[in-house]
Structure 1
């Protein structure tokens, strides 16, 4: 990720933060719509899960300027996700639901540059998390 992309992610997320509760609802609704089988990995009451999602996004987005500081938490999160039954194939689906949610939340502020920045951020983190949870990306496929 370039410094400009980090700035775009952080600035765009700041616009979503005020509607974080609604954004989390939209995200999980979209995720369960496109990947209904993953719903079984989540609790019936999603209130706490939605809060955890947004708290994690805040930490990651704020940490993008110093990615090395975020990586230990990302590694632990990836391993927890694997223990819940998450597979490497779930990561692109989650990423697509996240980008879709951001697009809906940002409206006209969702530009191609913002989309590219978020795609780069998610790709960097998800690739790292997959390698941490499952070994090399090639071994996970």
Structure 2
């Protein structure tokens, strides 16, 4: 990721943060729409899960300017996801739902440059997480 992309991700996430719970609802609704089988990996009451998602995104987004600082947490998260039943092929689906939710949340603020920046961020982190969890790097877009 370029420094400019990091800035775009951070600035755009700052605009999503005030509607964090709504953004998380949009994300999970989309995820379950495009990948219904993954719904069984989640609790019936998604309240805490939505909070965890947005808190994790905040940590990641804030740490992008010092990527090395968030890699240990990303590795641990990847290992936990394996225990929940997540597979490498789920990462692209999650990425698609995330980008879709961000586009909906940002509305007119979603630009080609912001889309590219978020794609780069997600691809970087998900590739690392897949490698940590499954022992092989794999592109996840």
TM over 0.5: yes
Per the normalisation by structure 2, the TM-score is 0.97
2:23 maps to 23
Q: Which residues of structure 1 form unaligned runs of 5+?
A: none
SS in 1 for 2:87: coil
Alpha-carbon displacement from aligned partner over 1:77-111 (angstroms, at most 9, x marks no partner)? 00000111000000000000000000000011100
Query: Are 1:56 and 2:19 counterparts?
Result: no
CA distance in structure 2 between the aligned counterparts of 1:20 and 1:38, rounded to whole angstroms: 22
Count of residue pairs brought into register by the alignment: 138
Alpha-carbon displacement from aligned partner over 1:10-43 (angstroms, at most 9, x marks no partner)? 0000000000000000100000000000000000
CA distance in structure 1 between the aligned counterparts of 2:22 and 2:109, rounded to whole angstroms: 18
Q: Which runs of 4+ in 1 moved over 3 A?
A: none
Q: Which residues of structure 2 form unaligned runs of 5+?
A: none
CA distance in structure 1 between the aligned counterparts of 2:29 and 2:136, rounded to whole angstroms: 31
